[in-house]
Amino acid sequence: MTVEIIYFVHGTTTDNEANRATGHAPGKLSELGIQQAKDLGDKIEEEFDALYCSDLQRALKSANLAFGDQCNIRTDERLRECDYGEMTRNEFTWGLKNYKETPYPGGESYEEVEERISDFLDYLVENHEGEKVALLSHQAPQLALEVLTKNKTWEEAIETDWREAGEWQPGWKYKVENKK
């Protein structure tokens, strides 16, 4: 049995517009981000059995604007963005590949994000086997899903990230299979 996942990203933030890394800081949706979240809810026709969201403000607000009246939104801190530590709120000019194994100063590495997401996927299989689950989160958790479910390396996940090509879509699909 499997768990089907449809993955959504939060709306654009004021930090995104200023090319700053928000990390674990709350972040604030910009006017564009608010409209994106509202529009997302209108574009989704698929039904899902559960919705999990990062507990960071920008993701939770996006989830509420898009889906708040349609389902119970459950937050989970494992879906948080990468902790950029001392680089939080700084201009986003560094290469993601530099922090695959090495944590950001005072923060975490992408492999640590992968561990969090792997743990969360185990939880989904245990609690939602055979169901379709929506996730609303951030860039690093989505890249970790690419690594964990599509057998990509971190380098491949980063190089093929839709954000680089500006190829947003209203949801990405993943499947997690029961390992037992």
Q: What is the pLDDT of residue 60?
A: 96
- Report residue 99 CA to chain centroid gap: 17
Q: How many domains does the chain have?
A: 1
The reported pTM is: 0.93
Say which range, 17-21, 90-94, 114-118, has the weakest mean pLDDT. 90-94
Q: What is the mean pLDDT of the chain?
A: 92
Q: Is 55 exposed, middle or buried (0-12, 13-18, 19+ CB in 10 A)?
A: middle
Range of the domain at 19: 2-177
Task: Give the model's confidence band at 71: pLDDT under 50 very low, under 70 low, under 90 confident, else very high.
Answer: confident
Q: Which helix (H) or strand (E) holds 4?
A: strand 2-9
Q: What is the CATH number of the domain that holds 152?
A: 3.40.50.1240
DSSP 102: S
Assess whether pLDDT exceeds 80 at residue 52.
yes
Four-CA torsion 20, 121, 98, 87, nearest 10 degrees: 30
Query: pLDDT for 113-140, tens place per residue?
Result: 999 999 999 999 999 999 999 999 999 9
DSSP 13: B
Q: Could you list the active site residues? A: 10, 81
The partner residues of 74 in beta bridges, in order of sequence, read: 52
